[in-house]
Amino acid sequence: MKTVLHKANTRGHANHGWLNSWHTFSFAGYYNPERVHFGALRVLNDDTVKGGMGFSKHPHDNMEIVSIPLSGDLHHKDTTGRDKIIRQHDVQIMSAGSGIAHSETNANHDKEVKFLQIWVFPKKLNIEPRYDQKSYLPEDRLNQLLTVVAPDDANALWINQDAWFTLGNFEKGFSSAYTVKRNTNGVYVFVIKGDVTINDIALNERDGLGVVETETLNIKADSDAEILLIDVPMEIEQEA
């Protein structure tokens, strides 16, 4: 087993006033040659947006973009005609494919929205842009792992990659195990809340841990905790 540990306070940081963003991997003005990506996982941003503010319309192509609101509501618009509110406990995915433009703004003027913005390199290039979102209730992942994004699960949002996103809400003392989906994949663990131990490595809130060359992750909640597991190919191979 090989690991890479990213403590929360070592992330890139940008505070634009309306946006307070922490970057696990190189993004915008933050560049660290040792933290460009973890396999097919390219971006993991931990964003807080002030009321009524947000990202104006901007383009993307050939990227799988997942948004997970942690509190508050996001207002999404894009050039496919989608006009949606993404709320806490929702998960959204957008396949930028051959090209799409979208905006993401705080749907409320009186409170912040906090969300994770995650980019994954796609498996197939230039597919038709697509969008989907789904709600996953906290009780459905209490003391269990729940897959919310996958290429092969009818209960999850489809992704154009051999990648799986799994959420878990654990009470203190609860233990679980996660089996890596493919032997060529690695898993990036992001601690949304609380403290956990993964394969004897202690992690705290907003820490990240990349794990490769193992079949299983043993997870123990050292406090009430919420985690996200991102299981991705370590080699980026794209089909035209």
Distance CA 178, CA 189 (A): 11
Instruction: Please state the domain count of the chain.
Output: 2
**In terms of Cα–Cα distance, which of 40, 2, 27 is closest to 162?**
40
* Structural domain ending residue among the three candidates 135, 161, 177: 135
φ and ψ at residue 111, rounded to 5 degrees: -155, 160
pLDDT value at position 237? 85
Q: Would residue 1 count as lying in a domain?
A: no
**239 part of a folded domain:** no
CATH code for position 52: 2.60.120.10
**CA trace torsion 115, 237, 148, 141 (10° rounding):** -90
| Residue-wise pLDDT tens digits, 158-200 | 999 999 999 999 999 999 999 999 999 999 999 999 999 999 9
pLDDT at 80 over 90: no
In terms of domains, do 104 and 166 share one?
A: no
Q: Are residues 175 and 86 in the same domain?
A: no
- Answer yes or no: do 108 and 192 share one domain: no
User: In terms of DSSP bridges, do strands 201-203 and 145-150 run parallel, antiparallel, or are they unpaired?
Assistant: unpaired
201 and 212, same structural domain? yes
Does residue 2 sit within a domain?
A: no
Same domain, 104 and 148: no
Nearest to 43, CA basis, from 211, 195, 190? 190
Q: What pTM was estimated for this model as a whole?
A: 0.97
Distance, in Å, from the CA atom of 165 to the CA atom of 182, rounded to the nearest integer, reads 14
Q: Is residue 121 part of a domain?
A: yes
Q: What is the rounded distance in angstroms from the CA atom of residue 6 to the CA atom of residue 139?
A: 29
Domain boundary among 80, 103, 135: 135
Domain limits at 180? 138-233
Taking all residues of the chain, what is their mean pLDDT, rounded to a whole number?
96
Same domain, 18 and 126: yes
Q: Do residues 153 and 131 both lie within one domain?
A: no
5 inside domain: no
If asked whether residues 105 and 188 sit together in one domain, one would say: no
Q: How far apart are CA 75 and CA 84, in angstroms?
A: 6
Integer CA distances (angstroms), 177 to 215, 227, 231, in order: 10, 13, 14
pLDDT (tens digit, 9 = 90+) per residue, 87-134?
999 999 999 999 999 999 999 999 999 999 999 999 999 999 999 999
Q: How far apart are CA 203 and CA 195, in angstroms?
A: 6
